[in-house]
Amino acid sequence: MPPKSCSFNCVYCQLGRTRRTRIERVSFCSKERVFEEIARQVQSSEPDFITFAGDGEPTLSRDLGWLADHCRRRWPSHVAVITNSSLLFRDDVREELAAADVVLASLDVGCEATFRALNRPHPDLSFANIREGLMRFAEEYSGKLWLETMLVADANDSHLELTKIRDILKLIGPDRTYVTVPIRPPAESWVTVPPADVILRAQRILGDAEPVADREAGGFGLSQFSSARQAIVEIGSRHPLRRDQAESIAAFFSSPGTVANMLQARELIDVHFGDTEYVLPSYFNRDPEVGLPT
Protein backbone atom coordinates (compact mmCIF):
# COMPACT_ATOMS: atom_id res chain seq x y z
CA MET A 1 0.00 0.00 0.00
CA PRO A 2 1.19 3.56 -0.65
CA PRO A 3 1.97 5.78 2.35
CA LYS A 4 -1.07 7.66 3.70
CA SER A 5 -3.93 8.20 1.25
CA CYS A 6 -6.32 10.80 2.62
CA SER A 7 -8.91 13.41 1.67
CA PHE A 8 -7.59 15.70 4.43
CA ASN A 9 -4.20 17.14 5.34
CA CYS A 10 -4.91 17.75 9.02
CA VAL A 11 -2.42 19.86 10.92
CA TYR A 12 -2.47 17.42 13.85
CA CYS A 13 -2.09 14.17 11.88
CA GLN A 14 0.27 11.64 13.46
CA LEU A 15 1.09 10.28 9.99
CA GLY A 16 2.47 13.62 8.81
CA ARG A 17 1.36 15.74 5.90
CA THR A 18 -0.69 14.29 3.07
CA ARG A 19 1.43 14.56 -0.05
CA ARG A 20 -1.63 14.77 -2.29
CA THR A 21 -5.19 14.82 -1.02
CA ARG A 22 -7.60 12.63 -2.94
CA ILE A 23 -11.34 11.91 -2.98
CA GLU A 24 -11.57 9.25 -5.70
CA ARG A 25 -12.27 5.77 -4.36
CA VAL A 26 -9.91 3.04 -5.56
CA SER A 27 -8.85 -0.49 -4.72
CA PHE A 28 -5.46 -0.12 -3.06
CA CYS A 29 -4.66 -3.82 -2.90
CA SER A 30 -6.31 -7.23 -3.16
CA LYS A 31 -9.36 -7.36 -0.89
CA GLU A 32 -9.04 -11.13 -0.74
CA ARG A 33 -5.49 -10.83 0.58
CA VAL A 34 -6.58 -8.30 3.20
CA PHE A 35 -9.37 -10.63 4.28
CA GLU A 36 -6.91 -13.53 4.57
CA GLU A 37 -4.66 -11.43 6.81
CA ILE A 38 -7.63 -10.43 8.97
CA ALA A 39 -8.56 -14.12 9.26
CA ARG A 40 -5.08 -15.00 10.56
CA GLN A 41 -5.28 -12.25 13.18
CA VAL A 42 -8.79 -13.14 14.30
CA GLN A 43 -7.89 -16.80 14.76
CA SER A 44 -4.98 -15.91 17.02
CA SER A 45 -6.51 -13.07 19.03
CA GLU A 46 -10.33 -13.37 19.12
CA PRO A 47 -10.88 -9.59 19.14
CA ASP A 48 -13.88 -7.73 20.51
CA PHE A 49 -13.80 -5.48 17.45
CA ILE A 50 -12.41 -5.69 13.94
CA THR A 51 -11.69 -2.05 13.20
CA PHE A 52 -10.98 -0.47 9.83
CA ALA A 53 -8.94 2.70 10.23
CA GLY A 54 -6.81 2.80 7.09
CA ASP A 55 -3.43 4.37 6.46
CA GLY A 56 -5.27 7.65 5.98
CA GLU A 57 -9.02 7.63 5.23
CA PRO A 58 -10.52 4.11 4.97
CA THR A 59 -13.60 5.11 2.96
CA LEU A 60 -11.28 5.93 0.05
CA SER A 61 -11.04 2.17 -0.41
CA ARG A 62 -13.84 0.92 -2.61
CA ASP A 63 -13.32 -2.51 -1.01
CA LEU A 64 -14.30 -1.32 2.46
CA GLY A 65 -17.93 -2.42 2.21
CA TRP A 66 -16.98 -5.87 0.92
CA LEU A 67 -14.48 -6.37 3.73
CA ALA A 68 -16.78 -5.10 6.48
CA ASP A 69 -19.65 -7.28 5.25
CA HIS A 70 -17.48 -10.41 4.98
CA CYS A 71 -16.04 -9.87 8.48
CA ARG A 72 -19.47 -9.39 9.98
CA ARG A 73 -20.81 -12.55 8.34
CA ARG A 74 -17.87 -14.77 9.31
CA TRP A 75 -17.05 -13.80 12.90
CA PRO A 76 -18.99 -12.78 16.01
CA SER A 77 -16.63 -9.84 16.60
CA HIS A 78 -18.16 -6.41 16.13
CA VAL A 79 -17.03 -4.42 13.09
CA ALA A 80 -16.05 -0.77 13.48
CA VAL A 81 -14.89 1.92 11.05
CA ILE A 82 -12.99 5.09 11.98
CA THR A 83 -13.57 7.85 9.42
CA ASN A 84 -12.91 11.56 8.98
CA SER A 85 -16.49 11.95 7.66
CA SER A 86 -15.33 13.44 4.36
CA LEU A 87 -17.15 11.02 2.04
CA LEU A 88 -20.33 10.42 4.02
CA PHE A 89 -22.21 12.66 1.59
CA ARG A 90 -21.82 9.86 -0.98
CA ASP A 91 -24.61 7.30 -1.20
CA ASP A 92 -22.23 4.38 -1.85
CA VAL A 93 -20.10 5.16 1.22
CA ARG A 94 -23.11 5.38 3.53
CA GLU A 95 -24.46 2.11 2.14
CA GLU A 96 -21.15 0.31 2.70
CA LEU A 97 -20.79 1.61 6.26
CA ALA A 98 -24.17 0.09 7.07
CA ALA A 99 -22.29 -3.22 7.49
CA ALA A 100 -20.42 -1.82 10.51
CA ASP A 101 -21.72 -2.15 14.07
CA VAL A 102 -20.00 1.07 15.12
CA VAL A 103 -18.82 4.07 13.10
CA LEU A 104 -16.50 6.55 14.83
CA ALA A 105 -16.61 9.72 12.75
CA SER A 106 -14.74 13.02 13.14
CA LEU A 107 -16.25 16.45 13.59
CA ASP A 108 -13.42 18.82 14.49
CA VAL A 109 -14.93 22.14 13.46
CA GLY A 110 -18.18 24.03 13.08
CA CYS A 111 -17.57 26.30 10.08
CA GLU A 112 -15.89 26.44 6.68
CA ALA A 113 -13.03 28.77 7.64
CA THR A 114 -11.82 26.57 10.51
CA PHE A 115 -12.35 23.47 8.36
CA ARG A 116 -9.95 24.86 5.76
CA ALA A 117 -7.38 25.88 8.36
CA LEU A 118 -7.42 22.76 10.55
CA ASN A 119 -8.39 19.82 8.31
CA ARG A 120 -7.02 21.31 5.06
CA PRO A 121 -9.30 19.20 2.83
CA HIS A 122 -9.20 18.31 -0.84
CA PRO A 123 -10.28 21.45 -2.76
CA ASP A 124 -13.49 19.81 -3.96
CA LEU A 125 -14.69 19.20 -0.40
CA SER A 126 -16.54 21.72 1.73
CA PHE A 127 -17.78 21.86 5.29
CA ALA A 128 -21.28 21.61 3.85
CA ASN A 129 -20.25 18.14 2.55
CA ILE A 130 -19.27 17.10 6.07
CA ARG A 131 -22.39 18.44 7.76
CA GLU A 132 -24.73 17.02 5.11
CA GLY A 133 -23.03 13.63 5.09
CA LEU A 134 -23.10 13.24 8.87
CA MET A 135 -26.76 14.25 9.11
CA ARG A 136 -27.85 11.90 6.33
CA PHE A 137 -25.79 9.04 7.74
CA ALA A 138 -27.29 9.54 11.21
CA GLU A 139 -30.79 9.32 9.74
CA GLU A 140 -30.10 6.11 7.80
CA TYR A 141 -27.68 4.19 10.03
CA SER A 142 -28.98 1.52 12.41
CA GLY A 143 -25.69 0.90 14.23
CA LYS A 144 -23.92 3.00 16.86
CA LEU A 145 -22.63 6.38 15.68
CA TRP A 146 -19.87 7.88 17.79
CA LEU A 147 -18.40 11.32 17.03
CA GLU A 148 -14.93 12.55 17.98
CA THR A 149 -13.59 16.10 18.14
CA MET A 150 -9.82 16.61 18.10
CA LEU A 151 -8.92 19.81 19.96
CA VAL A 152 -5.92 21.91 18.94
CA ALA A 153 -4.92 24.92 21.04
CA ASP A 154 -5.91 28.26 19.49
CA ALA A 155 -7.38 26.53 16.44
CA ASN A 156 -10.79 25.05 17.31
CA ASP A 157 -10.97 25.31 21.09
CA SER A 158 -12.61 28.75 21.46
CA HIS A 159 -16.04 29.06 23.05
CA LEU A 160 -17.48 30.25 19.72
CA GLU A 161 -16.08 27.34 17.72
CA LEU A 162 -17.17 24.80 20.32
CA THR A 163 -20.73 26.11 20.37
CA LYS A 164 -20.87 25.79 16.58
CA ILE A 165 -19.79 22.16 16.87
CA ARG A 166 -22.35 21.61 19.66
CA ASP A 167 -25.18 22.95 17.48
CA ILE A 168 -24.30 20.46 14.75
CA LEU A 169 -24.03 17.61 17.26
CA LYS A 170 -27.58 18.37 18.40
CA LEU A 171 -28.80 17.94 14.83
CA ILE A 172 -26.91 14.67 14.37
CA GLY A 173 -27.68 13.07 17.74
CA PRO A 174 -24.71 10.67 18.05
CA ASP A 175 -24.79 7.78 20.52
CA ARG A 176 -21.52 8.98 22.03
CA THR A 177 -19.33 12.08 21.76
CA TYR A 178 -15.61 12.09 22.51
CA VAL A 179 -13.10 14.88 23.03
CA THR A 180 -9.49 14.06 22.28
CA VAL A 181 -6.18 15.88 21.86
CA PRO A 182 -2.94 15.20 19.94
CA ILE A 183 -0.71 12.77 21.85
CA ARG A 184 1.78 11.87 19.09
CA PRO A 185 4.01 14.15 16.98
CA PRO A 186 1.76 16.23 14.68
CA ALA A 187 2.24 17.18 11.05
CA GLU A 188 2.85 20.82 11.98
CA SER A 189 5.18 22.00 14.72
CA TRP A 190 2.85 24.72 15.99
CA VAL A 191 0.17 22.22 17.03
CA THR A 192 -0.17 22.03 20.82
CA VAL A 193 -2.60 20.57 23.34
CA PRO A 194 -5.10 22.98 24.93
CA PRO A 195 -4.83 23.60 28.68
CA ALA A 196 -6.73 21.22 30.96
CA ASP A 197 -9.41 23.77 31.85
CA VAL A 198 -10.11 24.36 28.15
CA ILE A 199 -10.48 20.62 27.55
CA LEU A 200 -12.91 20.34 30.46
CA ARG A 201 -14.89 23.31 29.15
CA ALA A 202 -15.05 21.66 25.73
CA GLN A 203 -16.39 18.45 27.27
CA ARG A 204 -19.17 20.39 28.99
CA ILE A 205 -20.09 22.46 25.92
CA LEU A 206 -20.22 19.40 23.69
CA GLY A 207 -22.79 17.75 25.91
CA ASP A 208 -20.76 16.00 28.59
CA ALA A 209 -18.46 14.51 25.97
CA GLU A 210 -16.22 11.71 27.13
CA PRO A 211 -12.42 12.00 27.20
CA VAL A 212 -10.49 9.29 25.38
CA ALA A 213 -8.21 7.64 27.93
CA ASP A 214 -5.39 5.10 27.69
CA ARG A 215 -4.79 5.74 23.99
CA GLU A 216 -1.19 4.63 24.36
CA ALA A 217 -2.09 1.43 26.21
CA GLY A 218 -2.01 -2.04 24.73
CA GLY A 219 0.45 -4.10 22.78
CA PHE A 220 1.07 -5.08 19.17
CA GLY A 221 0.66 -8.41 17.43
CA LEU A 222 4.21 -9.30 16.42
CA SER A 223 3.96 -12.91 15.32
CA GLN A 224 3.37 -12.06 11.65
CA PHE A 225 6.66 -10.16 11.35
CA SER A 226 9.95 -11.81 10.46
CA SER A 227 12.23 -9.27 12.15
CA ALA A 228 12.31 -6.35 14.56
CA ARG A 229 13.13 -3.98 11.72
CA GLN A 230 10.11 -5.07 9.68
CA ALA A 231 7.79 -4.81 12.69
CA ILE A 232 9.03 -1.35 13.68
CA VAL A 233 8.71 0.05 10.15
CA GLU A 234 5.31 -1.45 9.40
CA ILE A 235 3.72 -0.72 12.77
CA GLY A 236 5.35 2.70 12.91
CA SER A 237 3.92 3.65 9.52
CA ARG A 238 0.40 3.34 10.96
CA HIS A 239 0.95 4.01 14.65
CA PRO A 240 3.94 6.23 15.51
CA LEU A 241 5.92 4.46 18.21
CA ARG A 242 7.36 5.82 21.39
CA ARG A 243 11.06 5.01 21.69
CA ASP A 244 10.35 2.58 24.52
CA GLN A 245 7.69 0.81 22.44
CA ALA A 246 10.15 0.35 19.58
CA GLU A 247 12.78 -0.96 22.02
CA SER A 248 10.22 -3.44 23.39
CA ILE A 249 9.58 -4.73 19.88
CA ALA A 250 13.31 -5.18 19.35
CA ALA A 251 13.51 -7.05 22.66
CA PHE A 252 10.71 -9.39 21.55
CA PHE A 253 12.89 -10.43 18.60
CA SER A 254 16.00 -10.61 20.81
CA SER A 255 17.51 -7.91 18.64
CA PRO A 256 19.13 -5.28 20.89
CA GLY A 257 20.56 -2.28 19.10
CA THR A 258 18.03 -2.40 16.25
CA VAL A 259 16.47 0.97 17.06
CA ALA A 260 19.83 2.71 17.41
CA ASN A 261 21.03 1.17 14.15
CA MET A 262 17.88 2.24 12.31
CA LEU A 263 18.26 5.77 13.63
CA GLN A 264 21.89 5.88 12.54
CA ALA A 265 20.93 4.62 9.07
CA ARG A 266 18.16 7.25 8.89
CA GLU A 267 15.50 4.58 8.47
CA LEU A 268 13.98 6.17 11.55
CA ILE A 269 14.12 9.70 12.90
CA ASP A 270 13.54 10.59 16.54
CA VAL A 271 11.02 13.31 17.32
CA HIS A 272 10.12 14.81 20.68
CA PHE A 273 6.50 15.79 21.32
CA GLY A 274 5.78 17.08 24.79
CA ASP A 275 7.96 15.08 27.14
CA THR A 276 7.97 11.94 25.01
CA GLU A 277 10.45 10.67 22.42
CA TYR A 278 9.03 8.98 19.31
CA VAL A 279 10.77 7.16 16.47
CA LEU A 280 9.10 7.60 13.09
CA PRO A 281 9.74 6.20 9.60
CA SER A 282 11.97 8.63 7.75
CA TYR A 283 9.58 9.06 4.83
CA PHE A 284 6.94 10.81 6.98
CA ASN A 285 6.16 14.19 5.44
CA ARG A 286 6.36 16.75 8.25
CA ASP A 287 7.14 20.30 9.16
CA PRO A 288 10.96 20.34 9.45
CA GLU A 289 10.68 22.03 12.85
CA VAL A 290 9.17 18.77 14.15
CA GLY A 291 12.33 17.00 13.06
CA LEU A 292 11.52 15.38 9.73
CA PRO A 293 12.08 16.39 6.10
CA THR A 294 9.11 17.58 4.03
Output the pLDDT for position 1: 62
pLDDT in tens, 63-115: 999 999 999 999 989 999 999 999 999 999 999 999 999 999 999 999 999 99
- Residue 218: pLDDT band (50, 70, 90) is low
* pLDDT beyond 70 at 275: yes
Strand order, beta sheet including 276-281: 241-242, 276-281, 268-273
* pLDDT beyond 60 at 262: yes
- Which run of H or E residues covers position 211? strand 210-211
Q: Where are the beta strands (DSSP E) in 76-196?
A: 78-83, 102-106, 144-150, 176-180
What is the spatial distance between Cα 50 and Cα 139, in angstroms, rounded to a whole number? 24
Output the pLDDT for position 2: 64
- Residue 291: pLDDT band (50, 70, 90) is very low
pTM for the model stands at 0.83
Does residue 191 sit in helix, strand or coil? Answer: coil
pLDDT in tens, 4-42: 899 999 999 998 999 999 999 999 999 999 999 999 888
Output the pLDDT for position 294: 36
What is the spatial distance between Cα 103 and Cα 93, in angstroms, rounded to a whole number? 12
Identify which of 32, 42, 36, 116 has the alpha carbon closest to the alpha carbon of residue 77. Answer: 42
* pLDDT beyond 70 at 287: no
Output the pLDDT for position 120: 98
